[in-house]
């Protein structure tokens, strides 16, 4: 590719060179001088003519020649009657020059004209190339007339298939109807069925919404237009609406097709929620999008697929039936889904024979498809870094830690006192996970610093649930309190290392009080004042919580957290010796897996991982 690009870069200069040569040979500077017969005889008598060409026609003889005028050479053309006597005289007079005789009837007028036009053609091509080059490099000013055109990118053939998408079987089944419609529309028309005009995919970032849309286009074999919601919005009012019209116009020409709008919340936010009134650019763009999806004119054969992780801010008119008829929630994958995703992303990687995909899926609850792909990619990078021929379980374990907490900071050293405090702190978390009912299982505990943490526990639920019970949440808060409880019990002092634990525990406790109705305040949803302001919609809205209720909420949160902290101290006191064993093993080995922790608790030496 680089060589081809270099040749293309020199192409304009080559055209200029050829044009210059052509102009020099055939251009106006080399036009023949027309001589009369008398003037030609004078040149012949003075022996100035060096070359001559006689073109003998039916009525006239055309003489082309070259003569010397001082030191300058000039060309001439003369015409004489075509008689036998004249031919003999010319041959006799020009005997001293180089004479050529041609038949004028064999000359091609079209070819001669074409040859004379060659330099002008080269000049025109060069001019067109220069204009295109200037238009492409002059920025937005040179493309002023294209300002309102659509920025949607067309992929005629998507290479992604359903086999490349895992962990969302139900979602793929829902999208299969769209594929059948795009392939066999008459089957639906005979039944009187109308395919959804729009499908809104909602889910956390990285769950595969964009990948699923590409797979639909690939399976259906139709053109796929992709655009981001932010590509519509500009500082000039009306530009976004113009781009929406242009996008649907182009899509109509290639129907059936798919239009995919990523992050549609950038343009589809609820109208009338800001400070600028209803005439701003974003609202005009949204209005045009609403009309194009379901207005006076039908957009037959166009299926709009949109993705967002903020469905709560979208305008109700956009979500109504007839526009986005169907909403598909692309949730985080479960254990089986994570295993399938890992197998998809492992197809082009060299894994060791002992790598257990099912065990890896168990260790990664809450991971999205993008997270899992990143885990395997990080593991592959680590294997390359160590010059290994395959990816081992050790590389994948380290990759999980890197994705969750960042790379290990092995250069950071602890003094003995700090190392001991961190070891007991992390052991406090581990003991809660081991001996408290409803607590999560400890998979790994380490005192190696990662990110902002001096150490961390990897804990996973015993089984994945669709919802958590009150006891589950209380056990989670208690596990967060285990680190501080161990510090206070064994060192009669506390550190700042538990700040993140307190933040997580407090958030869970506040949600239990204000959202889940799991407190003495009853099953009431309270506005705790923590919602984000959305474009001024909630800026002036009064809170529905009085000062007295806010005080009671704080009291309930404090009651829950303090109760869990007390429970943590009880569990640690009951299993004090086991905690000491884990802490001492951490100080020696720095990292313990779940199997090694069980061995240490029994008083055995941990086996090498």
- The answer to whether the CB of 423 falls within 8 A of the CB of 587 is yes
> In this structure, what token pair is assigned to residue 500?
């993140």
Q: How far is CA 72 from the centre of its chain?
A: 68
Q: Please count the CA atoms within 13 angstroms of the CA of 482 that sit on its side-chain side.
A: 33
The CA-CA-CA angle for residues 475, 480, 485, to 5°, reads 105
Q: CA-to-CA distance for 428 and 575, rounded, in angstroms?
A: 10
Q: How far is CA 32 from the centre of its chain?
A: 65
- Helix 576-589 crosses helix 416-435 at what angle (to 10 degrees)? 130
Q: CA-to-CA distance for 294 and 324, rounded, in angstroms?
A: 10
> In this structure, what token pair is assigned to residue 239?
């530009």
Q: CA-to-CA distance for 310 and 483, rounded, in angstroms?
A: 35
Whether 574 is a known active-site residue: answer no
Of 219, 426, 487, 578, which one is the catalytic site residue? Answer: 426
Q: How many residues does the chain have?
A: 609
User: Which residues are registered as beta bridge partners of 456?
Assistant: 446
- The answer to whether the CB of 155 falls within 8 A of the CB of 223 is yes
Q: Please count the CA atoms within 13 angstroms of the CA of 250 that sit on its side-chain side.
A: 17
Residue 127's CB is within 10 A of a number of other CB atoms, namely: 10
Q: CA-to-CA distance for 125 and 142, rounded, in angstroms?
A: 20
Q: Please count the CA atoms within 13 angstroms of the CA of 477 that sit on its side-chain side.
A: 26
Q: How far is CA 201 from the centre of its chain?
A: 17
Q: Please count the CA atoms within 13 angstroms of the CA of 491 that sit on its side-chain side.
A: 19
Q: Sign of dihedral through CA atoms 250, 255, 257, 259?
A: positive
Q: CA-to-CA distance for 257 and 222, rounded, in angstroms?
A: 5
Catalytic annotation, residues:
426
């Amino acid at each position: 590719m680089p060589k081809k690009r270099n040749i293309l870069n020199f192409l304009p200069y080559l055209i200029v060179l050829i044009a210059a040569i052509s102009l020099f040979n055939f251009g106006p500077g080399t036009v023949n001088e027309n001589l009369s017969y008398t003037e030609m005889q004078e040149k012949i008598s003075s022996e100035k003519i060096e070359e001559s060409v006689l073109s003998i026609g039916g009525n006239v003889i055309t003489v082309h020649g070259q003569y010397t005028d001082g030191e300058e050479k000039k060309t001439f053309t003369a015409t004489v009657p075509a008689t036998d006597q004249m031919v003999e005289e010319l041959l006799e007079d020009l005997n001293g020059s180089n004479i050529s005789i041609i038949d004028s009837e064999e000359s091609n007028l079209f070819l001669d004209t074409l040859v004379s036009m060659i330099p002008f053609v080269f000049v025109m091509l060069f001019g067109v190339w220069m204009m295109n080059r200037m238009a492409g490099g002059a920025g937005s000013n040179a493309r002023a007339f294209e300002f309102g055109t659509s920025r949607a990118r067309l992929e005629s053939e998507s290479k992604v298939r359903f086999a490349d998408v895992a962990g969302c079987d139900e979602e793929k089944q829902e999208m299969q109807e769209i594929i059948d419609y795009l392939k066999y529309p008459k089957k639906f028309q005979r039944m009187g069925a109308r395919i959804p005009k729009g499908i809104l995919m909602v889910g956390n970032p990285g769950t595969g919404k964009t990948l699923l849309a590409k797979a639909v286009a690939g399976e259906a074999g139709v053109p796929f237009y992709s655009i981001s919601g932010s590509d519509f919005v500009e500082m000039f009012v009306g530009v976004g609406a113009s781009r929406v019209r242009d996008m649907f116009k182009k899509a109509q020409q290639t129907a059936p097709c798919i239009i995919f709008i990523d992050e549609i919340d950038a343009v589809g936010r609820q109208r009338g929620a800001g400070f600028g009134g209803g005439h701003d650019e974003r609202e005009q763009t949204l209005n045009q999008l609403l009309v194009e999806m379901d207005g006076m004119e039908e957009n037959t054969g166009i299926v709009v697929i949109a993705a967002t992780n903020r469905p709560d801010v979208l305008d109700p008119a956009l979500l109504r039936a007839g526009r986005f008829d169907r909403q598909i929630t692309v949730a985080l994958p479960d254990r089986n889904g994570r295993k399938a995703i890992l197998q998809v992303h492992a197809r082009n990687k060299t894994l060791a024979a002992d790598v257990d995909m099912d065990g890896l899926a168990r260790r990664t609850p809450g991971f999205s498809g993008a997270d899992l792909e990143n885990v395997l990619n990080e593991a592959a990078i680590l294997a390359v870094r160590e010059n290994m021929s395959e990816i081992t379980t050790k590389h994948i374990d380290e990759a999980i830690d890197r994705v969750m907490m960042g790379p290990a900071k092995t250069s950071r050293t602890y003094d003995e006192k700090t190392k001991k405090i961190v070891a007991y702190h992390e052991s406090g978390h581990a003991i809660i996970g081991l001996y408290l009912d409803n607590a999560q299982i400890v998979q790994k505990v380490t005192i190696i610093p990662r990110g902002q943490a001096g150490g961390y526990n990897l804990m996973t639920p015993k089984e994945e649930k669709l919802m958590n019970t009150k006891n589950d949440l209380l056990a989670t808060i208690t596990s967060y309190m285990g680190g501080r409880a161990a510090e206070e019990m064994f060192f009669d002092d506390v550190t700042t290392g538990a700040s993140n634990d307190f933040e997580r525990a407090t958030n869970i406790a506040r949600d239990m009080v204000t959202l889940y109705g799991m407190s003495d305040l009853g099953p009431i949803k309270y506005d705790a004042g923590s919602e984000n302001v959305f474009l001024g919609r909630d800026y002036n809205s009064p809170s529905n919580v009085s000062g007295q209720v806010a005080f009671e909420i704080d009291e309930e949160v404090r009651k829950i957290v303090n109760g869990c902290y007390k429970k943590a101290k009880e569990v640690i006191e009951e299993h004090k010796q086991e905690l000491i064993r884990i802490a001492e093993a951490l100080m020696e080995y720095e990292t313990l897996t779940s199997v090694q922790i069980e061995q240490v608790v029994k008083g055995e030496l941990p086996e090498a991982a």
